[in-house]
Structure 1
Amino acid sequence: MTEFFQGIAPIAHEGPDSTNPLAFHHYNPDEIVMGKRMEDHLRFAVAYWHSFAWEGNDPFGGQTFERPWHPQDRMTTARIKADAAFEMFDILGQPYFCWHDADIRPEGDTFAESLRNFEEIIACFEEKMSTRKVRLLWGTANMFSHRRWMGGASTNPDPDVFAYSAATVKTCMDATMKLGGENYVLWGGREGYETLLNTDMGRELDHMGRFLNMVVDYKHKIGFQGTILVEPKPQEPSKHQYDYDAATCYGFLQKYGLENEVKLNLEQGHAILAGHSFEHEIATAAALGVLGSIDMNRNDYQSGWDTDQFPNNVPEVALAYYHILKAGGLATGGTNFDAKLRRQSLDARDLIAAHVGAMDVCARGLKAAAAMLEDGGLEDALKERYAGWDTPEARAMLNSDLDTIFDKVNAGAITPSPRSGRQEILENYVNRFV
């Protein structure tokens, strides 16, 4: 045991009237929402990288956090970090966690040494998980931080880097399966380009498509029953990312024959960077049949970059869960808090309180979303707005041709009369629930 979380008791649900900052006011894992336990709807996960590996640095300043597992370049401190992580999981009681390989083990001088370090920590995780309820939502590989990835991973102009990427993903998929992970995520942090002056875009896209096909083939080879997920991100660090948003990723999956094999892990902050809302990305993925999982956070809307703050906007969260519930839920996915403390929030208590507050915000959003669906107001409004398309005439028009349609319009049989979209009324409707 470490002393980092000393004195912090497991978090309990105390209800909305409690003033305890380290209690759940709205998240009650056993509360039934639309016939299902709240915990089973939300499927919360803690992100190992932001909660334990991040040191409080930003583009203009270095480390601000001082943790018992610093520096993170030794196996002894990696084990201390694991001890602290699972202590926090016990305190929060969330059902899942997620990791990158580089979060949990120190980098070795060779691939083989890094792999030995990784496998040792995976064995440590396996032992700790054997006596706890916490499970692995997904694993992934960090193929963006080390200098070897500066030109991309699967899209790198150097075939040796492609090979290193393939070997890295294999080891992470093996570890994810060993720990019973329910998904495997590929986030192409540098799968894009900074300038076309030195980029063969067509070749890079083909290499990325081939790489992802290799991943899917390996999934089936080893019998991994989880879902392969790709995470869209429009920029930062690469200026032009190939995985820009949900629609772009779906087009990529279709081009390389993967639309039935791979789903998407969508992040609130990435949606904002792409110029979308989170519910837009979720609704897009759901409509295309590739909604997999979500990373829940928020951006600072004034800064214009990916600040990865914990969520605190209930109306935004409610609309996100509305589209998730409407699509049938998250299946093997979950709600991963890809969020980090502010660099001035130094204490262990801050880390716990951030997750507690975020879990409460999501619980409030989920309940509001469920109430809207059960009330049916938005669905009734949609049905009314598109009612014209349910007529025999409209259905026949879709199976017609331009000449036939022209004849009807030209004869005066069809004269459009615009109707109100009622946006403000619908926004007022949503506000009744949030």
Structure 2
Amino acid sequence: MATGFFDGIERVRYEGADSTNPMAYRHYNPDEIVLGKRMEEHLRLAVAWWHSFAYEGGDPFGGSTLVRPWHPQDNMENARLKVDVAFEMFEILGTPFFCWHDADIRPDQGDLAGNVAKLDEITDYIAEKMEHSSTRCLWGTANMFSHRRWMGGASTNPDPDVFAFAAATVKSCMDATKKLGGANYVLWGGREGYETLLNTDLGRELDHMGRFLTMVVDYKHKIGFEGTILVEPKPQEPSKHQYDYDAATCIGFLRKYGLENEVKLNLEQGHAILAGHSFEHELAVAAADGMLGSIDMNRNDYQSGWDTDQFPNNTPEVALAYYEVLRAGGFATGGTNFDARIRRQSIDPEDLIASHVGGFDICARGLKAAAAMIEDGGLEAARRERYAGWETDRGKAMLASDLESVAAKALAEGINPNPRSGRQEILENYVNRFV
């Protein structure tokens, strides 16, 4: 039975680039073949439960602006209504995946046993809805940053009881993700960091965080969860300094605790910007170590300086991101999650649909541009030319030698190299041909 929330809104269809219909896809055609694979299979687009259904329109300076039929979000009747509305939206958009935190889908009961019981109950209901839907679960995760119990961290908390509460919470969420056939399980350490070093034993907290993640991996194998464990970097906000600062920091952490073969990264565009990087940088760093797992696609407002979680609308940025994804071989279990929310003034159901239509389209447009660059091969040819000296016998012998021998040879040959252009502007102009 329809909820009526989206009354008057028809299923979104692909109408082509010339369409002027704001509720139609102009670039996202799930069946279009890109590099030998359906576009839908490349992008693996997912709706974020927290932003699309749990977000009430608040910001740091004001309260709720979105009045929804499932408010207040403090009882199971409204939680089930929220599920009904979610699956209606999945059908309208034709989205293949969704993602969730436990706090998005079940009301907080104020105690561990109650939270676990309600999570089990609501995921049973979601599983029933999935039997009549083509939309799957891309990943689940636990919200261990909003409630006051997490103010000093979860796995890094100085109180062992909070660590235990976190362990039980993650176990329940992993069980629920497995129940829903999730392709991944994500951990984002929103409070895994510090406000001041004056009261922080940084080394101890990192060791506890490493031990906690090891427990998660061990439990994954115990229950036979076949998905990928992902961690998500972010440098700050809400904590002053978070231990999962960026891709390189997370990779170093995983190697330190022997988890580099068990865990991959879920990378977000907005978090990359907060860390002082471009999104393609973070993707390339993860890919270089074989740890690129999944992505959150959004953008920040470059004037605000904080994590505004807006829907993507910049084709060149998105194209360069998907170029790195394609170079790395594409997604395996991961995908593209819209960790993005409508603005607090966008209060109509149509706004919720239109935001995703635009997001789907910009990702499709970026993917096609990235695929065209891959097929053309211009960037890879430029890279090969720039590093061609290392492919010669002389270059290979140099790397196999030692410092003293290389220095002696340089002196004997009187080496005095001339700089060569990096050709950045030429390559930027090349990219602009495709975007």
Cα distance in structure 1, aligned partners of 2:333 and 2:16: 29
Cα distance in structure 2, aligned partners of 1:403 and 1:40: 52
Map of 1:44 onto structure 2? 45
Cα deviations across residues 211-238 of structure 1 (Å, max 9, x unaligned)? Answer: 0000000000000000000000000001
Q: Is residue 2:46 matched to residue 1:12?
A: no
Q: CA deviation at 1:109?
A: 3.0
Q: CA deviation at 1:365?
A: 0.2
1:121-136 matches, within 5 Å, as 121-136=122-137
1:46-195 matches, within 5 Å, as 46-195=47-196
Cα distance in structure 2, aligned partners of 1:327 and 1:109: 43
2:214 alignment partner, SS class: helix
* TM-score, with length taken from structure 2: 0.99
1:17-36 matches, within 5 Å, as 17-36=18-37
Q: CA deviation at 1:425?
A: 0.1
1:411 alignment partner, SS class: helix
AA partner of residue 315 (structure 1): P
Cα deviations across residues 44-63 of structure 1 (Å, max 9, x unaligned)? Answer: 00000000001000000000
Q: CA deviation at 1:377?
A: 0.3
Map of 2:302 onto structure 1? 301
2:236 alignment partner, SS class: coil
Map of 2:285 onto structure 1? 284
Identity rate, percent: 76
Cα distance in structure 1, aligned partners of 2:119 and 2:67: 23
Cα distance in structure 1, aligned partners of 2:187 and 2:117: 22
Cα distance in structure 2, aligned partners of 1:141 and 1:186: 7
Q: CA deviation at 1:111?
A: 1.2
Q: CA deviation at 1:404?
A: 1.2
Identify the range of structure 1 (400-409 vs 414-423) with the bigger mean alpha-carbon deviation.
Answer: 400-409
Q: CA deviation at 1:416?
A: 1.0
Q: CA deviation at 1:411?
A: 2.6
Map of 1:226 onto structure 2? 227
Q: CA deviation at 1:413?
A: 3.5
2:41 alignment partner, SS class: helix
Q: CA deviation at 1:96?
A: 0.2
Cα distance in structure 1, aligned partners of 2:152 and 2:321: 34
Map of 1:407 onto structure 2? 408
AA partner of residue 404 (structure 1): S
Q: CA deviation at 1:118?
A: 1.1
Cα distance in structure 2, aligned partners of 1:378 and 1:384: 10
Cα distance in structure 1, aligned partners of 2:294 and 2:110: 34
Cα distance in structure 2, aligned partners of 1:340 and 1:223: 34
Cα deviations across residues 161-186 of structure 1 (Å, max 9, x unaligned)? Answer: 00000000000000000010000000
Q: Is residue 2:205 matched to residue 1:204?
A: yes
Q: How many residues align?
A: 434
Q: CA deviation at 1:241?
A: 0.6
Cα distance in structure 2, aligned partners of 1:254 and 1:299: 30
Map of 2:351 onto structure 1? 350
1:239-388 matches, within 5 Å, as 239-388=240-389
Q: Is residue 2:432 matched to residue 1:431?
A: yes
Cα distance in structure 1, aligned partners of 2:81 and 2:179: 22
4+ residue segments displaced more than 4 Å: none
Gaps of 5+ in 1: none
AA partner of residue 380 (structure 1): A
1:233 alignment partner, SS class: coil
Cα deviations across residues 9-44 of structure 1 (Å, max 9, x unaligned)? Answer: 110000011110000000000000000000000000
2:109 alignment partner, SS class: coil
Cα distance in structure 1, aligned partners of 2:385 and 2:416: 19
Q: CA deviation at 1:410?
A: 2.0
2:229 alignment partner, SS class: strand
